[in-house]
Amino acid sequence: MTYEIRPATIRDLSEIYDIELAQFPEPWTKSMLKDEITNIATRRYTVATEYKKLVGYLGLMFVVDEVHVNTIGVVPGTERRGIGRTLLSEGMAAAHQRGAQRATLEVAASNVAAQALYRQFGFAPVGVRRNYYEKTGEDALILWADLPVAPRDDLRL
Ligand SMILES: CC(C)(COP(=O)(O)OP(=O)(O)OC[C@H]1O[C@@H](n2cnc3c(N)ncnc32)[C@H](O)[C@@H]1OP(=O)(O)O)[C@@H](O)C(=O)NCCC(=O)NCCS
């Protein structure tokens, strides 16, 4: 399946928020997401669509020559169909074109699905933020990757 990637707009806010609510124990608020989507100076939010229907989104933040993966999620029930990989692949290529030399993110220590996705893009752990997530008290791993990145089939689980 191929997915279309396009910039997120304010009209996507409700659907993005629904994914956020369903997929994260500590979801961003609608108002935070609105600010993120509309702040195109330092953010880059994209959505993946399948037959025009929104199936996933990716939020990037640019800080000097780094890009931070703020958030990524797919519609519940559509996992493991390549949507996350398509979003990240397009996003990392665009970030590099925009001048980012490195990419970083935090991921919950127990989130093996996301970690496996990031590993395919060359992300490697450099540290731990203890008790990073307020609700669960869970640690976050800090991952970094040098850009440009390309998904590597040999790192698939
Ligand atoms: C993480 C997430 C975005 C991945 O999106 P996805 O569309 O399901 O991922 P893909 O189908 O593109 O998978 C790409 C690779 O990621 C890894 N992966 C994805 N889900 C996995 C799982 N449940 N278990 C193990 N590996 C997994 C695999 O290596 C997979 O490649 P493969 O299917 O060829 O083996 C999705 O699971 C999600 O929305 N999770 C909830 C939100 C979240 O945790 N976001 C990350 C916050 S840091």
Q: Ligand 1: which residue has its CA nearest to atom 44? A: 114
Q: What value, to the nearest 5°, has the Cα angle with vertex 44 and ends 94 and 50?
A: 80
Residue 76 neighbours by CB distance under 10 Å: 11
d(CA 50, CA 53): 5
Higher pLDDT: 1 or 43? It is 43
Q: Which domain holds residue 21?
A: 4-155
Q: Tens of pLDDT along 74-108? A: 999 999 999 999 999 999 999 999 999 999 999 99
The full 3-state SS of the chain, as one line of letters, equals: CCCEEEECCHHHHHHHHHHHHHHCCCCCCHHHHHHHHHCCCCEEEEEEEECCEEEEEEEEEEECCEEEEEEEEECCCCCCCCHHHHHHHHHHHHHHHCCCCEEEEEEECCCHHHHHHHHHCCCEEEEEECCCCCCCCCCEEEEEEECCCCCCHHHCC
pTM of the model: 0.95
Residue 115 neighbours by CB distance under 10 Å: 17
Domain count of the fold of the chain: 1
Pocket of ligand 1 (CB under 6 A): 23, 72-74, 79-85, 107, 111-114, 116-117, 120, 156-157
The pick from 20, 74, 80 for probing ligand 1's pocket by mutation, whose C-beta has the most ligand atoms within 8 angstroms, reads: 80
Helix, strand or coil for residue 6?
strand
Reported confidence tier of residue 157, pLDDT bands at 50, 70, 90: very low
Ligand 1 center–CA 100 separation, angstroms: 24
For residue 16, what is the domain's CATH number?
3.40.630.30
Q: Ligand 1: which residue has its CA nearest to atom 26? A: 113
Residue 85 CA: which ligand 1 atom is closest? 12
